[in-house]
Amino acid sequence: MGLIERYRARLPVADGARIITLGEGSTPLIQLQNLAVANARNVSLYVKYEGLNPTGSFKDRGMTMAITRAVNAGSQAVLCASTGNTSAAAAAYAARAGIACYVLIPDGKVAMGKLAQAMIHGAVVLQIQGNFDDGMKLVKQIAATEPITLVNSVNPYRLQGQKTAAFEIIDALGAAPDFHCLPVGNAGNISAYWIGYSEYAGQTTGACNLCDGQCAYLRQAVTDKRPRMLGYQAAGAAPFLRGEPVAEPETVASAIRIGQPQSWELAWAASRESGGWFDEFSDTDILATQALLANREGIFCEPASAVSVAGALRDIEAGKIPAHSSVVCTLTGHGLKDPDIAMRQSAAPVTKVAANPDEVKRVIFAEC
């Protein structure tokens, strides 16, 4: 069941609309078991593993809504700028809908798996000589005058789809967690979670960009609690820490290599209203956390996703997240999106061995 079907009563989808879905959502919420920092403080630490969506990232939640809306409004083509995952999702859902898809990606900075997805789904891929922020400017200009639907997260239907991840977490845990940790790039996702958590708590929020938080989807409260929203960035691309746009963002976590987030005000509203904070992490910390999750928990996420867990662990250790708290971190994208980085930071070399049992045993027992 896709998320529109699951949460239809809380989503702006017209009766009789043709639904474009690939069965997104309902991703696992996995409790981490082996991280000493969390265990020592009795913190219940969960990851929402969004890499298990159909195209391998959380973008599918927004894209089922944005493409459904576009198709039902008669659009024949969609457009986005992307660091990779949005373009993969847009390309897949546009293919499903039978409409055209155009994506602008930054020159040479998109992980191989994401580019492969956009290409195999038949999107027209334009690699611009510029970064994501330059791409955003271009697609906004073009969509303002041409008959083509912009499906970046400035499209409010994207955030409406993405808010369902917060519903799923409360539905799974029976209550909101105390803290929710997210990587922040263009800042749509932190805003969307806050909309979802607020809606389930029957509260309005300045983070809603569809109808100023006054919409009919504010139903009877399901819970009385909202989490504190913690947004984490890569140090080379941390406009929320600088308090202003960053002109030349740089980080190994290419998904969040963004200097001018489009949901700037909405994300500040989420942080402020929830009593949360922003923090930043070096590329070294980000990669170490990606490897830690893979090695110790068997969970493979892309580098940008790992920043949420890096943040949780640092703040648990520092006591900013108190002992006995419940914490959910969103792992936004699957590690297979960026195999090059995973290979580069894997400790174990691949050993070549002759295809006979004595040789294989010799190598195995030498390594023990």
Q: Give the residues lining the site for ligand F0G (CB under 6 A).
A: 57, 59, 82-86, 153, 183-189, 255-256, 302, 304-305, 332-333
Work out how close the CB of 188 gets to ligand F0G at its nearest, in angstroms, rounded to a whole number: 4
Given the complex with ligand F0G, which of 194 and 224 has the nearer CB atom? 194
Q: Cβ(92)–Cβ(119) under 8 Å?
A: no
Given the complex with ligand F0G, which of 164 and 332 has the nearer CB atom? 332
- Going by their DSSP bridges, the two strands 77-81 and 179-183 should be labelled as unpaired
Given the complex with ligand F0G, which of 310 and 348 has the nearer CB atom? 310
Work out how close the CB of 85 gets to ligand F0G at its nearest, in angstroms, rounded to a whole number: 3
Work out how close the CB of 158 gets to ligand F0G at its nearest, in angstroms, rounded to a whole number: 9
Work out how close the CB of 152 gets to ligand F0G at its nearest, in angstroms, rounded to a whole number: 7
Residues 6+ apart with CB under 8 A from 287: 252, 303, 306, 341, 345
Given the complex with ligand F0G, which of 5 and 283 has the nearer CB atom? 283
Work out how close the CB of 310 gets to ligand F0G at its nearest, in angstroms, rounded to a whole number: 13
Residues 6+ apart with CB under 8 A from 62: 89, 151, 153, 155, 157, 158, 159, 160, 161, 162, 188, 192
Helix axes 164-173, 188-200, angle to 10 degrees: 50
d(CA 145, CA 157): 20
Given the complex with ligand F0G, which of 107 and 356 has the nearer CB atom? 107
Q: What separation in angstroms does the CA of 253 have from each of 155, 180, 228, 351, 353?
A: 24, 20, 24, 29, 34
